[in-house]
Structure 1
Amino acid sequence: MAGPDIDLDFDDLTSMTKDLSTFVTEFENIGDTTDDVKDAVGRPHGRTQLERKVGDFEGGWDGNREVILDGLTNIRDHLQAIVDQFTETDKQLATSGETS
């Protein structure tokens, strides 16, 4: 009795993993940008309201960015593990088929 077949598109999984790695890198580097925005806004006409609003947004963004970054990193790592494990299993099955 044969078990269920598994049909994975390794090219899609590999591409997705690379794309997620790009997103992770962007999210890691985006923290520097939010600091720059607050500095660039400064105090127009000597007023601090806009600077405070940008600072409030930045504070909320930094916390949420970490949550998103953790999620993206987790998904990327799991996808990479799937690709690695199925690639290894495929090689082992091919090798065992050659020796049978």
Structure 2
Amino acid sequence: MGAEKVRIDYDLLTCVKESITQIIAELEDAPERTGDVAGAIGAPYERTQLSALASDFRGAWEPKRDDLIATLGGIGTRLDTVIDSYSDLDEGA
């Protein structure tokens, strides 16, 4: 059984890594951009349910966003490892 060659698309992996980095930056900046969503919604038609739901959603999303940032950071680190490892192998071949 012969050894098969592994083909690595470095451009694709680098593009994915850059996208992950941008997504993380957007997620980290999200709280600053959203500001007081509930206050911006106000009480349309004298009803406060929508602003209360928006506030509840924001509060529930915070820990999930932090988990997502951590997970994406881990994927980015693994991508860096793959890119570096295969680059080193290619240079040594």
TM-score above 0.5, yes or no: yes
- Equivalent-residue separation in structure 2 for 1:55 and 1:37 (angstroms): 7
Please provide the CA RMSD for this pair: 2.2
- Provide TM-score, normalisation by structure 2: 0.80
Unaligned runs of 5+ in 2: none
Contact residue 13 and residue 79 of structure 2 kept, 8 A:
yes
Aligned length: 93
- Spell out the pairing of 1:1-100 with structure 2 (5 A cutoff): 3-44=3-44, 47-91=47-91, 93-94=92-93
Gaps in structure 1 of 5+ consecutive residues: 95-100
* % same residue: 30
Amino acid at match of 2:77: D
**How many Å separate the matches in 2 of 1:46 and 1:70?**
40
**Which shifted more, 11-20 or 46-55?**
46-55
Conserved 8 A contact 1:24-1:69: yes
Provide the TM-score with structure 1 as the length reference.
0.75
**C-alpha contact 2:37 2:55 (8 A) present in aligned 1:** no
Matched residues in 2 for 1:74 and 1:80: separation? 10
**Larger Rg over CA atoms:** 1
| One-letter amino acid of the structure 2 residue matched with residue 29 of structure 1 | D
Post-superposition CA distance 1:23-74 (Å, at most 9, x none): 1111111122333322312344665322221111111111211122111111
Q: What is the DSSP-based 3-state SS (H/G/I as helix, E as strand, rest coil) of the residue aligned with 1:80?
A: helix
Residues in 2 aligned to 1:29 and 1:38: alpha-carbon distance in whole angstroms: 18
